[in-house]
Each structure stands twice: as structure tokens, then as C-alpha cells.
């Protein structure tokens, strides 16, 4: 059996209404919807962390420094708008 803990949180009324609407539409409890949302957020955050680490490794491999990012971004935007 899964060990659980009870949390008391404050949420804006509109968010609670949206959660309740989603729970009813999916025939789930409010807790199940919040649990799924929390898990999704944590998974998203871990993927974001991995993407940042990948970006740092690629920048290091290519010799890109933070000071050069603005120039590279501006260059890419210029090329994109020119249709290249």
C-alpha cells in the first residue's frame, strides 16, 4: 500500500473550481487530479533540468560562452526573418 501524507494548501477559488471540473470530467477525485498535476510538474522540471545540462554541454563543446549568446540569438533571428 502506498504511504501517503495529507497536505493543507490554499488555492484561489477559480483554480479549485477548475480542478473540480476536471476531476468530475475524468471521474476522478480532486486528490487524484492534484497528484497527477504535481507528478507532471516534477517530471517536466526534471526534463527541463536535463535540457539545460545538455545545452551547457553543447555550448562548451562548441566554445560558446554566455557573453556570446545574445549575438548568436540576434544572428539566428536575422537569418530566420531573411528567409534563410
Within a domain: 6: no
Please report whether residue 34 resides in a domain.
yes
Q: Is the pLDDT higher at 51 or at 72?
A: 51
Residue 66: pLDDT band (50, 70, 90) is confident
Report if residue 47 sits inside a domain: yes
Segments forming the whole domain that contains residue 28: 13-81
The model's pTM:
0.71
Q: What pLDDT was estimated at residue 84? A: 61
Residue 45 lies in a domain: yes
DSSP 10-65: ---HHHHHHHHHHHHHTT--HHHHHHHHHHHHHHHHHHHHHHHHHHHHHHHHHT--
Residue 83 binned pLDDT confidence (cut-offs 50, 70, 90): confident
Q: What is the pLDDT of residue 18?
A: 98
Amino acid at each position: 500500500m502506498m504511504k501517503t501524507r495529507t497536505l493543507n494548501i490554499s488555492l484561489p477559488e477559480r483554480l479549485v473550481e477548475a480542478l473540480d471540473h476536471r476531476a468530475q470530467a475524468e471521474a476522478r477525485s480532486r486528490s487524484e487530479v492534484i497528484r497527477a498535476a504535481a507528478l507532471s510538474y516534477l517530471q517536466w522540471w526534471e526534463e527541463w533540468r536535463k535540457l539545460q545540462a545538455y545545452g551547457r554541454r553543447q555550448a562548451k563543446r562548441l566554445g560558446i560562452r554566455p557573453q556570446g549568446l545574445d549575438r548568436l540569438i540576434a544572428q539566428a533571428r536575422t537569418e530566420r526573418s531573411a528567409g534563410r
